[in-house]
Amino acid sequence: MITAASDVATDVLVGTLRRLVECESPSADHAAVARSADLVAALGEDLFGRAPERIVVDGVSHLRWCFGAHTRVLVLAHHDTVWPLGTLARLPFAVHEDTLRGPGCFDMKAGLAMALHAVAGLEERDGVTVLVTGDEEVGSPASRALIEDTVRGAHAALVLEASADGGALKLERKGVSLYEIVVHGLAAHAGLEPERGVNATVALAHAVLAVAALADPDRGTTVTPTVARSGATTNTVPALATFSVDVRARTVAEQERVDAAVRALAAEVPGARLEVRGGVNRPPLEAAASAALFQRAQHIAAGLGLEPLRGAAVGGASDGNFTAGAGVPTLDGLGAVGGGAHAEHEHVVVAELAPRTRLLRALIGDLAADQETP
Protein backbone atom coordinates (compact mmCIF):
# COMPACT_ATOMS: atom_id res chain seq x y z
CA MET A 1 0.00 0.00 0.00
CA ILE A 2 1.26 3.49 -0.85
CA THR A 3 1.24 5.92 2.07
CA ALA A 4 0.97 9.68 2.30
CA ALA A 5 4.76 9.83 2.54
CA SER A 6 4.95 8.76 -1.10
CA ASP A 7 4.58 12.29 -2.35
CA VAL A 8 4.63 13.65 -5.87
CA ALA A 9 6.17 17.07 -6.41
CA THR A 10 3.76 19.58 -7.89
CA ASP A 11 6.48 21.33 -9.89
CA VAL A 12 7.46 18.02 -11.49
CA LEU A 13 3.86 17.34 -12.50
CA VAL A 14 3.51 20.87 -13.90
CA GLY A 15 6.74 20.45 -15.85
CA THR A 16 5.53 17.22 -17.46
CA LEU A 17 2.16 18.77 -18.16
CA ARG A 18 3.78 21.77 -19.83
CA ARG A 19 5.69 19.51 -22.22
CA LEU A 20 2.51 17.62 -23.08
CA VAL A 21 0.41 20.77 -23.63
CA GLU A 22 3.08 22.42 -25.77
CA CYS A 23 3.10 19.42 -28.09
CA GLU A 24 -0.21 20.05 -29.87
CA SER A 25 -2.12 16.91 -30.86
CA PRO A 26 -5.46 17.46 -32.59
CA SER A 27 -7.14 14.10 -33.21
CA ALA A 28 -7.61 14.57 -36.95
CA ASP A 29 -3.95 15.41 -37.60
CA HIS A 30 -2.25 12.03 -37.52
CA ALA A 31 1.22 13.53 -37.94
CA ALA A 32 0.68 15.77 -34.91
CA VAL A 33 -0.66 12.83 -32.90
CA ALA A 34 2.43 10.82 -33.92
CA ARG A 35 4.70 13.61 -32.65
CA SER A 36 2.76 13.65 -29.40
CA ALA A 37 3.16 9.87 -29.15
CA ASP A 38 6.92 10.32 -29.56
CA LEU A 39 6.92 12.69 -26.59
CA VAL A 40 4.69 10.50 -24.40
CA ALA A 41 6.86 7.48 -25.24
CA ALA A 42 10.01 9.37 -24.25
CA LEU A 43 8.47 10.61 -21.00
CA GLY A 44 7.28 7.13 -20.14
CA GLU A 45 10.62 5.55 -20.98
CA ASP A 46 12.39 8.00 -18.67
CA LEU A 47 9.93 7.34 -15.85
CA PHE A 48 9.40 3.59 -16.27
CA GLY A 49 12.80 2.56 -17.58
CA ARG A 50 11.33 0.89 -20.64
CA ALA A 51 9.95 1.85 -24.03
CA PRO A 52 6.26 1.28 -24.80
CA GLU A 53 4.70 -0.90 -27.41
CA ARG A 54 3.73 1.49 -30.20
CA ILE A 55 0.52 0.51 -31.96
CA VAL A 56 -0.59 2.36 -35.09
CA VAL A 57 -4.15 1.68 -36.26
CA ASP A 58 -5.53 3.48 -39.33
CA GLY A 59 -2.72 6.01 -39.01
CA VAL A 60 -3.41 6.79 -35.34
CA SER A 61 -0.62 6.30 -32.78
CA HIS A 62 -1.33 4.54 -29.48
CA LEU A 63 1.10 3.48 -26.74
CA ARG A 64 0.98 0.59 -24.27
CA TRP A 65 3.17 -0.43 -21.35
CA CYS A 66 2.44 -3.87 -19.88
CA PHE A 67 4.09 -4.74 -16.56
CA GLY A 68 3.77 -8.46 -15.91
CA ALA A 69 2.19 -11.30 -17.83
CA HIS A 70 -1.43 -10.45 -17.00
CA THR A 71 -3.29 -7.16 -16.64
CA ARG A 72 -5.04 -6.75 -13.32
CA VAL A 73 -5.33 -2.95 -13.47
CA LEU A 74 -5.66 -0.96 -16.69
CA VAL A 75 -4.68 2.71 -16.41
CA LEU A 76 -6.35 4.37 -19.39
CA ALA A 77 -5.60 7.80 -20.86
CA HIS A 78 -5.53 9.58 -24.22
CA HIS A 79 -3.12 12.14 -25.67
CA ASP A 80 -5.21 13.67 -28.47
CA THR A 81 -7.16 16.92 -28.02
CA VAL A 82 -9.92 18.88 -29.78
CA TRP A 83 -7.70 21.93 -30.35
CA PRO A 84 -6.34 22.60 -33.89
CA LEU A 85 -2.68 23.26 -34.57
CA GLY A 86 -1.78 26.88 -33.81
CA THR A 87 -4.08 27.23 -30.81
CA LEU A 88 -1.04 27.38 -28.54
CA ALA A 89 0.01 30.70 -30.09
CA ARG A 90 -3.31 32.20 -29.00
CA LEU A 91 -3.80 30.29 -25.74
CA PRO A 92 -0.28 29.57 -24.50
CA PHE A 93 0.57 27.38 -21.55
CA ALA A 94 0.52 29.55 -18.43
CA VAL A 95 0.31 29.26 -14.67
CA HIS A 96 -1.22 32.17 -12.78
CA GLU A 97 -1.45 31.80 -9.02
CA ASP A 98 -3.14 28.38 -8.63
CA THR A 99 -4.60 28.04 -12.11
CA LEU A 100 -2.92 26.38 -15.09
CA ARG A 101 -4.11 27.01 -18.62
CA GLY A 102 -3.36 25.73 -22.11
CA PRO A 103 -5.15 23.78 -24.86
CA GLY A 104 -5.92 20.26 -23.71
CA CYS A 105 -4.61 20.79 -20.17
CA PHE A 106 -7.88 19.70 -18.50
CA ASP A 107 -9.03 17.25 -21.16
CA MET A 108 -6.89 15.36 -20.55
CA LYS A 109 -3.16 15.98 -20.59
CA ALA A 110 -3.11 16.62 -16.86
CA GLY A 111 -4.63 13.19 -16.33
CA LEU A 112 -1.97 11.70 -18.60
CA ALA A 113 0.83 13.39 -16.63
CA MET A 114 -0.72 12.12 -13.40
CA ALA A 115 -0.93 8.57 -14.76
CA LEU A 116 2.72 8.53 -15.81
CA HIS A 117 3.99 9.79 -12.46
CA ALA A 118 1.60 7.64 -10.43
CA VAL A 119 2.74 4.43 -12.09
CA ALA A 120 6.41 5.52 -12.04
CA GLY A 121 6.24 5.85 -8.25
CA LEU A 122 4.90 2.36 -7.58
CA GLU A 123 7.23 0.03 -5.73
CA GLU A 124 5.72 -2.91 -7.61
CA ARG A 125 4.13 -2.61 -11.06
CA ASP A 126 3.35 -6.25 -11.77
CA GLY A 127 -0.18 -6.53 -13.16
CA VAL A 128 -0.39 -2.87 -14.22
CA THR A 129 -0.95 -1.86 -17.84
CA VAL A 130 -0.86 1.73 -19.08
CA LEU A 131 -2.68 2.41 -22.36
CA VAL A 132 -2.54 5.84 -23.98
CA THR A 133 -4.74 6.21 -27.06
CA GLY A 134 -4.73 8.86 -29.78
CA ASP A 135 -8.32 9.24 -30.98
CA GLU A 136 -10.65 9.45 -27.98
CA GLU A 137 -11.91 12.91 -28.89
CA VAL A 138 -13.35 11.63 -32.18
CA GLY A 139 -15.05 8.58 -30.72
CA SER A 140 -12.11 6.13 -30.56
CA PRO A 141 -12.70 4.48 -33.96
CA ALA A 142 -9.09 3.28 -34.22
CA SER A 143 -8.64 2.35 -30.57
CA ARG A 144 -11.89 0.74 -29.43
CA ALA A 145 -10.82 -2.80 -30.31
CA LEU A 146 -7.41 -2.18 -28.71
CA ILE A 147 -9.04 -0.95 -25.49
CA GLU A 148 -11.43 -3.89 -25.32
CA ASP A 149 -8.65 -6.38 -26.07
CA THR A 150 -6.31 -4.84 -23.48
CA VAL A 151 -8.88 -4.70 -20.68
CA ARG A 152 -10.12 -8.24 -21.19
CA GLY A 153 -9.62 -10.23 -17.98
CA ALA A 154 -8.61 -7.21 -15.91
CA HIS A 155 -9.91 -6.65 -12.39
CA ALA A 156 -10.29 -2.90 -12.79
CA ALA A 157 -9.99 -0.02 -15.24
CA LEU A 158 -9.01 3.43 -13.99
CA VAL A 159 -9.76 6.23 -16.45
CA LEU A 160 -7.83 9.49 -16.25
CA GLU A 161 -10.46 11.73 -17.80
CA ALA A 162 -10.88 15.02 -15.95
CA SER A 163 -13.13 15.11 -12.91
CA ALA A 164 -16.68 16.39 -12.79
CA ASP A 165 -17.52 19.69 -11.07
CA GLY A 166 -15.52 20.25 -7.92
CA GLY A 167 -13.34 17.19 -8.41
CA ALA A 168 -16.11 14.56 -8.29
CA LEU A 169 -15.29 11.17 -9.77
CA LYS A 170 -17.51 10.01 -12.61
CA LEU A 171 -19.49 7.03 -11.40
CA GLU A 172 -21.97 6.88 -14.27
CA ARG A 173 -21.71 7.82 -17.92
CA LYS A 174 -24.59 7.56 -20.33
CA GLY A 175 -24.26 5.27 -23.29
CA VAL A 176 -24.29 6.89 -26.72
CA SER A 177 -26.13 5.83 -29.87
CA LEU A 178 -25.80 7.79 -33.11
CA TYR A 179 -28.13 7.46 -36.08
CA GLU A 180 -28.63 8.93 -39.50
CA ILE A 181 -32.16 8.45 -40.80
CA VAL A 182 -32.51 8.72 -44.54
CA VAL A 183 -35.94 9.47 -46.01
CA HIS A 184 -36.48 8.37 -49.60
CA GLY A 185 -39.26 10.10 -51.53
CA LEU A 186 -39.97 10.92 -55.20
CA ALA A 187 -39.22 14.17 -57.02
CA ALA A 188 -41.83 16.10 -58.97
CA HIS A 189 -42.35 19.71 -60.06
CA ALA A 190 -43.65 21.61 -57.03
CA GLY A 191 -45.79 23.93 -59.12
CA LEU A 192 -47.00 21.81 -62.04
CA GLU A 193 -47.70 18.40 -60.51
CA PRO A 194 -46.73 18.12 -56.83
CA GLU A 195 -49.26 15.31 -56.42
CA ARG A 196 -46.99 13.07 -58.51
CA GLY A 197 -44.19 13.40 -55.96
CA VAL A 198 -43.55 11.82 -52.58
CA ASN A 199 -42.45 14.60 -50.27
CA ALA A 200 -39.40 13.51 -48.28
CA THR A 201 -39.51 16.72 -46.19
CA VAL A 202 -43.01 15.96 -44.92
CA ALA A 203 -42.01 12.36 -44.19
CA LEU A 204 -38.93 13.67 -42.38
CA ALA A 205 -41.10 15.92 -40.20
CA HIS A 206 -43.22 12.96 -39.09
CA ALA A 207 -40.12 10.88 -38.41
CA VAL A 208 -38.43 13.63 -36.39
CA LEU A 209 -41.46 13.91 -34.11
CA ALA A 210 -41.67 10.14 -33.72
CA VAL A 211 -37.99 9.88 -32.82
CA ALA A 212 -38.14 12.75 -30.32
CA ALA A 213 -41.05 11.04 -28.59
CA LEU A 214 -38.81 8.09 -27.72
CA ALA A 215 -37.09 10.11 -24.98
CA ASP A 216 -37.83 9.16 -21.38
CA PRO A 217 -36.78 11.96 -19.00
CA ASP A 218 -37.73 9.94 -15.93
CA ARG A 219 -35.14 7.32 -16.88
CA GLY A 220 -32.60 9.91 -18.02
CA THR A 221 -32.92 8.93 -21.67
CA THR A 222 -32.50 11.74 -24.20
CA VAL A 223 -33.28 11.31 -27.89
CA THR A 224 -32.30 14.44 -29.78
CA PRO A 225 -32.78 15.00 -33.53
CA THR A 226 -29.91 17.26 -34.60
CA VAL A 227 -28.69 18.03 -38.14
CA ALA A 228 -31.37 17.85 -40.86
CA ARG A 229 -31.14 18.26 -44.62
CA SER A 230 -33.79 18.03 -47.29
CA GLY A 231 -34.43 18.79 -50.93
CA ALA A 232 -32.38 20.18 -53.78
CA THR A 233 -34.29 23.15 -55.23
CA THR A 234 -37.19 25.29 -54.03
CA ASN A 235 -39.48 24.30 -56.88
CA THR A 236 -39.04 20.53 -56.58
CA VAL A 237 -40.84 18.06 -54.34
CA PRO A 238 -37.86 16.72 -52.35
CA ALA A 239 -36.89 13.15 -53.13
CA LEU A 240 -34.34 12.79 -50.34
CA ALA A 241 -34.01 14.00 -46.76
CA THR A 242 -31.80 13.06 -43.83
CA PHE A 243 -31.55 13.82 -40.16
CA SER A 244 -29.17 12.79 -37.41
CA VAL A 245 -30.13 11.59 -33.94
CA ASP A 246 -28.10 11.66 -30.71
CA VAL A 247 -29.27 9.20 -28.04
CA ARG A 248 -27.98 9.11 -24.45
CA ALA A 249 -29.10 6.37 -22.06
CA ARG A 250 -28.09 5.40 -18.53
CA THR A 251 -28.72 1.67 -18.95
CA VAL A 252 -28.22 -0.99 -21.58
CA ALA A 253 -31.94 -1.78 -21.42
CA GLU A 254 -32.87 1.79 -22.35
CA GLN A 255 -30.27 1.88 -25.11
CA GLU A 256 -31.71 -1.32 -26.56
CA ARG A 257 -35.30 -0.06 -26.26
CA VAL A 258 -34.55 3.08 -28.24
CA ASP A 259 -32.52 1.16 -30.82
CA ALA A 260 -35.37 -1.26 -31.48
CA ALA A 261 -37.88 1.57 -31.75
CA VAL A 262 -35.73 3.59 -34.16
CA ARG A 263 -35.28 0.56 -36.41
CA ALA A 264 -39.04 -0.11 -36.34
CA LEU A 265 -39.96 3.37 -37.61
CA ALA A 266 -42.16 3.47 -40.67
CA ALA A 267 -42.74 6.40 -43.01
CA GLU A 268 -46.05 8.22 -42.42
CA VAL A 269 -46.20 9.56 -45.99
CA PRO A 270 -47.50 7.00 -48.54
CA GLY A 271 -44.75 5.94 -50.91
CA ALA A 272 -41.90 7.19 -48.72
CA ARG A 273 -39.30 4.87 -47.23
CA LEU A 274 -37.04 5.23 -44.18
CA GLU A 275 -33.50 3.89 -44.02
CA VAL A 276 -31.75 3.77 -40.62
CA ARG A 277 -27.97 3.97 -40.47
CA GLY A 278 -25.73 3.82 -37.41
CA GLY A 279 -26.57 2.43 -33.99
CA VAL A 280 -25.04 1.97 -30.57
CA ASN A 281 -21.70 3.79 -30.36
CA ARG A 282 -20.74 3.36 -26.69
CA PRO A 283 -22.42 1.27 -24.01
CA PRO A 284 -23.25 3.02 -20.73
CA LEU A 285 -20.99 3.06 -17.70
CA GLU A 286 -23.62 2.04 -15.17
CA ALA A 287 -23.41 2.79 -11.46
CA ALA A 288 -22.92 -0.89 -10.63
CA ALA A 289 -19.67 -0.93 -12.62
CA SER A 290 -18.06 1.74 -10.44
CA ALA A 291 -19.61 1.24 -6.99
CA ALA A 292 -17.03 -1.11 -5.46
CA LEU A 293 -14.06 0.80 -6.88
CA PHE A 294 -15.46 4.10 -5.63
CA GLN A 295 -15.86 2.66 -2.12
CA ARG A 296 -12.27 1.42 -2.29
CA ALA A 297 -11.02 4.82 -3.47
CA GLN A 298 -12.91 6.52 -0.63
CA HIS A 299 -11.21 4.28 1.90
CA ILE A 300 -7.78 4.99 0.40
CA ALA A 301 -8.41 8.73 0.30
CA ALA A 302 -9.30 8.68 3.99
CA GLY A 303 -6.12 6.77 4.76
CA LEU A 304 -4.08 9.40 2.94
CA GLY A 305 -5.74 12.22 4.86
CA LEU A 306 -7.46 13.58 1.75
CA GLU A 307 -10.87 15.21 1.60
CA PRO A 308 -13.79 12.77 1.21
CA LEU A 309 -14.43 11.86 -2.41
CA ARG A 310 -17.63 12.75 -4.20
CA GLY A 311 -19.22 11.06 -7.19
CA ALA A 312 -21.31 12.29 -10.11
CA ALA A 313 -23.33 10.95 -13.02
CA VAL A 314 -22.59 12.66 -16.35
CA GLY A 315 -24.04 12.58 -19.84
CA GLY A 316 -20.79 12.62 -21.76
CA ALA A 317 -19.03 9.42 -22.80
CA SER A 318 -15.41 8.30 -22.58
CA ASP A 319 -13.32 5.21 -23.18
CA GLY A 320 -14.52 4.12 -19.74
CA ASN A 321 -17.79 3.23 -21.44
CA PHE A 322 -15.92 0.57 -23.42
CA THR A 323 -14.17 -0.93 -20.38
CA ALA A 324 -17.43 -1.05 -18.44
CA GLY A 325 -19.17 -2.50 -21.49
CA ALA A 326 -16.56 -5.25 -21.49
CA GLY A 327 -17.70 -6.19 -17.99
CA VAL A 328 -14.70 -4.73 -16.14
CA PRO A 329 -15.26 -2.59 -13.00
CA THR A 330 -14.43 0.97 -14.04
CA LEU A 331 -13.76 4.21 -12.18
CA ASP A 332 -13.62 7.38 -14.29
CA GLY A 333 -12.84 11.04 -13.71
CA LEU A 334 -9.65 10.35 -11.76
CA GLY A 335 -7.78 13.09 -13.63
CA ALA A 336 -7.49 16.83 -13.12
CA VAL A 337 -9.69 19.12 -11.05
CA GLY A 338 -10.61 22.22 -13.01
CA GLY A 339 -13.06 22.97 -15.79
CA GLY A 340 -13.73 24.31 -19.26
CA ALA A 341 -13.16 21.15 -21.29
CA HIS A 342 -13.16 22.02 -25.02
CA ALA A 343 -13.64 25.70 -24.17
CA GLU A 344 -11.52 28.85 -24.16
CA HIS A 345 -11.49 28.91 -20.34
CA GLU A 346 -10.10 25.36 -20.00
CA HIS A 347 -8.03 25.21 -16.82
CA VAL A 348 -6.54 22.99 -14.12
CA VAL A 349 -6.33 23.66 -10.37
CA VAL A 350 -2.61 23.24 -9.66
CA ALA A 351 -3.00 22.52 -5.94
CA GLU A 352 -5.04 19.39 -6.71
CA LEU A 353 -2.49 17.76 -9.03
CA ALA A 354 -0.26 16.19 -6.38
CA PRO A 355 -3.02 14.95 -4.02
CA ARG A 356 -4.93 13.38 -6.92
CA THR A 357 -1.75 11.70 -8.13
CA ARG A 358 -1.08 10.31 -4.65
CA LEU A 359 -4.61 8.92 -4.56
CA LEU A 360 -4.22 7.39 -8.01
CA ARG A 361 -0.88 5.82 -7.14
CA ALA A 362 -2.25 4.31 -3.95
CA LEU A 363 -5.35 2.99 -5.70
CA ILE A 364 -3.36 1.39 -8.52
CA GLY A 365 -0.96 -0.21 -6.05
CA ASP A 366 -3.78 -1.53 -3.88
CA LEU A 367 -5.63 -3.04 -6.83
CA ALA A 368 -2.53 -4.51 -8.44
CA ALA A 369 -1.57 -6.24 -5.20
CA ASP A 370 -5.04 -7.75 -4.79
CA GLN A 371 -5.49 -11.08 -6.51
CA GLU A 372 -9.26 -10.85 -6.09
CA THR A 373 -11.64 -8.66 -8.04
CA PRO A 374 -12.58 -5.38 -6.31
Active site residues: 80, 136
DSSP sequence for 118-131: HHHT-S--TTEEEE
221 DSSP 8-state letter: B
Amino acid found at 93: F
| CA within 13 Å, CB half, 113 | 29
What three-state secondary structure class fits 168? Answer: coil
End-to-end CA distance of the chain: 15
Residue 160: phi, psi to the nearest 5? -95, 25
- Helices then strands, counting H and E runs in the chain, come out as 10, 18
Q: How many CB atoms lie within 10 A of CB 199?
A: 24
d(CA 279, CA 116): 35
Specify whether the CB–CB gap between 353 and 126 falls below 8 A: no
Q: Which helix (H) or strand (E) holds 203?
A: helix 200-212
How buried is residue 166: exposed, middle or buried, by Cβ count under 10 Å (0-12/13-18/19+)? Answer: exposed
Q: How many CB atoms lie within 10 A of CB 160?
A: 30
What three-state secondary structure class fits 214? Answer: coil
